[in-house]
Amino acid sequence: MSLTASTSLTRLLRQCWPLLILISSIIVCSWVYFSTDYKQQQLLMSREWQSTTISQIESLPQDSLQQLRKVKQNSNMVFLPNHTYSRITILELHSDQLQPLTIHISESGRWDVSGGYLLTEPLEFKDITSGSNHDFDSKQLNIIKDIFRMNAQESRRIDVINEHTLLLTSLTHGSKVLFSTK
């Protein structure tokens, strides 16, 4: 290679260097913007989410919750940009009585999306119980609340059905649908 060719190649590289940096920046920024975790975080923060779960309970003689027949759980959840979340849940505990016992639970904690999984870590629970309670004693209510708390700390895979519906799948116990009406 001649000295003139080497000099012109060096000059060409110096002129193209800013263009190469610009192209590299565009590629990296596009990768970050279009990466799954980032898009899922943006979708979670974009609206208030709701879920409804109904559990039918088989009666077992040795079970400490013999009176419990059905649990209906309605939740409203919001994910904030500072990676905290707030969830308000209404648990309806149905027994053989006509009127269910209603427990209101306010929960807050931290959240993150990593590898397509939503990770939630509850930090605070508050509950306000209303209605008459003829079927469940305080020990049974504490068991129900403990089960709720254990299920709150979760790692669930996020599948985006559409911009208003998310399917959260647990590795151990089923799936949950989050939906938004806005």
Q: What is the mean pLDDT of the chain?
A: 82
Domain ranges for the chain, please list them: 3-34, 39-179
Q: What is the pLDDT of residue 44?
A: 95
Q: For residue range 15-38, what is the model confidence (pLDDT) as tens digits?
A: 777 888 888 888 887 777 667 888
Rounded to whole angstroms, the Cα distance separating 51 from 178 reads: 5
Q: Decide if pLDDT at 103 tops 90.
A: no
Residue in 163, 182, 168, 86 with CA at minimum distance from that of residue 125: 86
CATH architecture of 39-179: Beta Barrel (2.40)
Predicted model pTM? 0.72
